[in-house]
Amino acid sequence: MSRNAYIVGTGHHVPEHVVTNADMEKIVDTSDEWITTRTGIKERRKVEGSTASSDLVSVAVQNAMEMAGWKPSDVQGIIVGTVTPDYPFPSTAALVADRLKMGNIPAYDFEAGCTAFIYGLIQAKAFIESGIMDRMIVVGVDCLTKITNWDDRGSCILFGDGAGAVAVSSEGPGGRLGGWHWGSDGSLGEHLMQIGGGSKNPASHGTVDRNEHTIFMNGARIFKHAVRAMHDSCMKALEQDGTEKKDVDLLVSHQANLRIIDATARALELEPEQVYINIQKYGNTSAASIPIALDEAYRSDAIRETSTVVLAAFGAGLTWGGMILHW
Ligand code: ACO
């Protein structure tokens, strides 16, 4: 008998500290009006002091396990998608598995920019449908404000911090992981990158002086690609799933820019109430944006027992992906 993978628990956590557009006006030459009309963002959350990704993840995972009715010892593996782990190594996943007393389970981080959560769900589907695991945790987390260039008004107004997690099981009921699509194009990688800190340009006084440990982004180029990639990912995931546009109940997409979300919704011919949007509250939380939105949508009843949900994302790499969920 063929096996399926189901989302049986969702959770998220964001830092308490709120940074409004009025606060951003004090940091760079910008305005609430510009940020709101160009991006849809009104405020974002920012971690303070030494708070790191693992701190946000621990709470998000506990919330997801609670909804699933799981004890830490029920979890057979945890994977964390992030570009802002606590350390280059050890992995944030291993730190969280230890902190939450999950035992000596497989735990690793992986990186696919803002697409990481969808990449993670596709890995979970493979692990669970093949019988390698029965119960695992998939996390998307980023603390982009730790690597934001606060002198660059074209990017610093976009980012916020947060974590989202799902518990994925071989046993329903829950949101069944359906058709998917994923891809990448490294030839476009230079348009969105952190230049310093890796093996190419290891940390040095020079990399710090040149601000190379912060995000470099060619916004206009990414925007153009994002609209096409999101549309493509949705259509290919729907086709693989055998689902038509008219049968979609809700779009939960990466929250990077309201105009990109609107373009994706138009391509799917969705009504405004069929699109989950929280970018106004959190900005772009990178790998965390879809699992945060999914958790909020589920807990606010925007997702019901019979919902067909489309997930879509794009991000650094460049990467892109889509997945269909059936509740
Ligand atoms: N406030 C006021 N003016 C600004 C600001 C600001 N914060 N930022 C840029 N401007 C100015 C520019 O200087 C430019 O002025 P000019 O015409 O005098 O040269 C003007 O506004 C227009 O700039 P554009 O860059 O063309 O503005 P655009 O409409 O493209 O919006 C934005 C910029 C919001 C960054 C958009 O391109 C975007 O959202 N791109 C996608 C970014 C993205 O999604 N990245 C996600 C990846 S994150 C990850 O994977 C880790």
* Claim to verify: residue 105 and residue 187 sit in the same structural domain: no
Whether the CB-CB separation of 180 and 125 falls below 8 Å is answered with yes
Closest-lying ligand 1 atom to the alpha carbon of residue 222: 41
Any residues with CB less than 8 A from the CB of 321 and at least 6 apart, and which?
112, 115, 118, 119, 122, 180, 181, 182, 183, 233, 312, 313, 314
Reduced to 3 states (helix: H, G, I; strand: E, B; else coil), residue 192 is strand
pLDDT score recorded for residue 305: 82
User: Encoding tokens for residue 73?
Assistant: 């010892």
Q: Whose CA is nearest to atom 13 of ligand 1?
A: 154
Q: Is 113 in the pocket of ligand 1 (CB under 6 A)?
A: yes
* 289 is a domain residue: no
* 286 is a domain residue: no
Binned at pLDDT 50, 70 and 90, residue 209 comes out as very high
* Claim to verify: residue 86 and residue 109 sit in the same structural domain: yes
* Claim to verify: residue 195 and residue 142 sit in the same structural domain: no
pLDDT score recorded for residue 200: 97
* 1 is a domain residue: no
* Claim to verify: residue 164 and residue 186 sit in the same structural domain: no
| Full 3-state SS string of 234-296 | HHHHHHHHCCCHHHCCEEEECCCCHHHHHHHHHHCCCCHHHECCCHHHHCECHHHHHHHHHHH
Any residues with CB less than 8 A from the CB of 99 and at least 6 apart, and which?
54, 58
Q: Give yes or no for residue 29 having a pLDDT over 80.
A: yes
Weakest mean pLDDT among 54-63, 93-102, 107-116, 216-225: 216-225
pLDDT score recorded for residue 306: 85
* 282 is a domain residue: no
Give which of 234, 10, 272 is closest to 140, Cα–Cα.
Answer: 10
Q: How many angstroms is it from 223 CA to the middle of ligand 1? A: 9
Q: Give yes or no for residue 66 having a pLDDT over 90.
A: yes
User: Encoding tokens for residue 197?
Assistant: 């800190």
* 283 is a domain residue: no
What is the average pLDDT across 265-284? 96
Which residues are 89's β-sheet partners?
A: none
Domain that holds residue 45: 6-173
Q: Is 216 in the pocket of ligand 1 (CB under 6 A)?
A: no
Backbone dihedral angles phi then psi of residue 170, each to the nearest 5 degrees? -80, -10
Number of domains in the chain: 2
Identify each DSSP E strand in 113-205 by its residue range.
135-143, 161-169, 175-184, 192-194
* Claim to verify: residue 130 and residue 267 sit in the same structural domain: no
CATH code of the domain in which 261 resides: 3.40.47.10
Residue type, 312: A
Length of the chain: 327
Q: Is 160 in the pocket of ligand 1 (CB under 6 A)?
A: no
Percent of the chain with pLDDT over 90: 98
Q: Whose CA is nearest to atom 30 of ligand 1?
A: 220
Model confidence pLDDT, tens digit, residues 124-166: 999 999 999 999 999 999 999 999 999 999 999 999 999 999 9
Reduced to 3 states (helix: H, G, I; strand: E, B; else coil), residue 177 is strand
Q: Is 36 in the pocket of ligand 1 (CB under 6 A)?
A: no
Whether the CB-CB separation of 102 and 70 falls below 8 Å is answered with no
Q: Is 192 in the pocket of ligand 1 (CB under 6 A)?
A: yes
| Longest distance between any two alpha carbons in the chain, whole Å | 60
* Claim to verify: residue 182 and residue 312 sit in the same structural domain: yes
pLDDT score recorded for residue 247: 95
* 249 is a domain residue: yes
Mutate to test the pocket of ligand 1, among 19, 38, 191 (most ligand atoms within 8 A of CB): 38
Q: Whose CA is nearest to atom 2 of ligand 1?
A: 30
